[in-house]
Amino acid sequence: MSLGLIVFLICFFFNLIIGFPIAFNLIFSSIIYLILGGYPISIAVQRIFCASSLISLLTIPFFVLMGQILLRGGVLKLLVNFVNAFVGHIKGALAIVAVLTCLFMGAIVGLAVAEAASLGSLLIPIMKKERYSPAFSAAVMTAASLLGPIMPPSVLMIMYAVAVGRTSVAGLFAAAVVPAFLIAFAQIFVILRRSKIENYPSYSKVDWPHKLDAFKKAIPVLLLPVFLLGLIFGKVCSVNEAAFLGSLYALVITFKKLQMKDYIEILKETAVTSGLIILLVAAGTITSWVIVNERVVYMLTNSLTQLPAWLFLLLLNVFLLINGMFMDDGASAIVWGPIIAPIAWALGIDPLQIGAIVCINLVIGLSTPPFGIVLFVTGPIAGVRIEDIFVEELPLIGVTIGVLLLVTYIPSLTLFLPRLLGY
């Protein structure tokens, strides 16, 4: 290990501990490495420019734009009313509505924080009024919002695919569909058991005319993921083109509900969010150059490929779950993806399966203390401490990790749909 790599690691982890923004941390630490190694700093500039010019990154601002349009276009209530019409008569109905709405929204928004903030602001106050404990209300919303980055289209999966290469974005989307539904059903199972114990309320059963009315009003929103994923999985167009068409679709169905000031805020949020994500991806390419230059992957591959695949996957899950407590999902995908993926490929693990495993692991980290960002969103909304939310959330996270283990050791759960669709 060279002096430059040692200093790079010291700088990176020190800046991580003090809370230095991760994108600038990667750039700063990499430049220190270049200076110590006697390499031209222009390498950093070239890598950032080339990464920022990748055509595949066009997907990100379009998906973010689509999500922002729908969040401000008032579609949340339509989705909530639709789901509530069909499951409102079950005990713990509101908590179940939160999970199922997050599942639908995941196919539209793709960002956990956006789901937690928007849907949490709507449902958590209602749940508190309906006698749900504030901590449990926030815990349900926190765990359910994890479905956002898992259910395609997922910004995290785009970042991972760009960072590691050799992985189809559309194929990775397809690989995540079954795990997303399994996680949703597992969380609902926990909610049903808790609701029975706590005797959480239900609503009177809605007759079919009212169900059909709620369905008709929600049709434009429900058709969006069908339209979007149909274009991608049907190979009618590329992911980039589908993201653009999805944004146009979102504009059409929300046109009458948005004012000029809303469009300004939408564009502002889209620019800020997309800019941060693309900067992170670009910064990660400099770090990738450092890793390649130091032959880190080669050294790790030589040692770790001696392990059985099942043991490597177990150690990987443990490492990523711990990592998720301290680093956000996007940064982790950029930093660790290019290291983990080649080792997994050398062990014969399918690129789509390892991609799904890594992304689900990193998403779980969004809900675990001390730095789980979703907890910092739902906590203030519910008016409770993060540690109280986490205690209530443990069973929900437990079953989510259980699904992760199924995905890890039963490859068909992730590979069945991609193979069916030709990926």
Q: What is the per-residue pLDDT across 119-141, written as a single tens digit (0 to 9) for each?
A: 788 788 888 888 888 999 999 99
Q: How confident is the model at residue 178 (pLDDT cuts 50, 70, 90)?
A: very high
pLDDT of residue 351: 93
Task: Please indicate, yes or no, if residue 251 is contained in any of the structural domains.
Answer: yes
* Burial of residue 264 (number of CB atoms within 10 Å: 0-12, 13-18, 19+): exposed
Q: Which domain holds residue 253?
A: 55-277+292-420
Task: Please indicate, yes or no, if residue 358 is contained in any of the structural domains.
Answer: yes
Which residue reads 């146009």 in tokens? 248
pLDDT of residue 181: 93
Decide if pLDDT at 164 tops 80. yes
Phi, then psi, of 47 in degrees rounded to 5: -65, -45
- What whole-number distance in Å separates Cα of residue 91 and Cα of residue 196? 7
Cα–Cα distance list, 402 to 47, 138, 415 (Å): 39, 21, 18
Least Cα distance to 354 among 69, 138, 94, 161 occurs for: 161
Least Cα distance to 345 among 360, 332, 358 occurs for: 358
pLDDT of residue 394: 92
pLDDT of residue 352: 93
Task: Please indicate, yes or no, if residue 301 is contained in any of the structural domains.
Answer: yes
Task: Please indicate, yes or no, if residue 8 is contained in any of the structural domains.
Answer: no
- 95 vs 115, residue with greater confidence: 95
Answer for the pair 179, 414: CB distance below 8 angstroms, yes or no: yes
- What whole-number distance in Å separates Cα of residue 40 and Cα of residue 310? 42
Cα–Cα distance list, 409 to 182, 265, 339, 419 (Å): 15, 44, 21, 17
Q: How confident is the model at residue 97 (pLDDT cuts 50, 70, 90)?
A: confident
Phi, then psi, of 111 in degrees rounded to 5: -130, 125
Q: How confident is the model at residue 67 (pLDDT cuts 50, 70, 90)?
A: confident
- What whole-number distance in Å separates Cα of residue 219 and Cα of residue 350? 36
* Burial of residue 19 (number of CB atoms within 10 Å: 0-12, 13-18, 19+): exposed
pLDDT of residue 409: 94
Task: Please indicate, yes or no, if residue 83 is contained in any of the structural domains.
Answer: yes
13-49 per-position pLDDT tens digit: 888 888 788 888 888 988 998 888 888 888 888 888 8
**Domains in the chain: how many in total?**
1
Helix (H, G, I), strand (E, B) or coil at 201: coil
Helix (H, G, I), strand (E, B) or coil at 234: coil
Q: How confident is the model at residue 1 (pLDDT cuts 50, 70, 90)?
A: low
Decide if pLDDT at 313 tops 90. yes
Task: Please indicate, yes or no, if residue 37 is contained in any of the structural domains.
Answer: no
Task: Please indicate, yes or no, if residue 328 is contained in any of the structural domains.
Answer: yes
Answer for the pair 120, 71: CB distance below 8 angstroms, yes or no: no
Least Cα distance to 395 among 140, 26, 155, 14 occurs for: 140
Cis ω on the peptide bond leading into residue 338 (within 30° of 0)?
no
Q: How confident is the model at residue 294 (pLDDT cuts 50, 70, 90)?
A: confident
What percent of the chain stands above pLDDT 90? 19
Task: Please indicate, yes or no, if residue 79 is contained in any of the structural domains.
Answer: yes
Decide if pLDDT at 305 tops 80. no
Decide if pLDDT at 201 tops 90. no
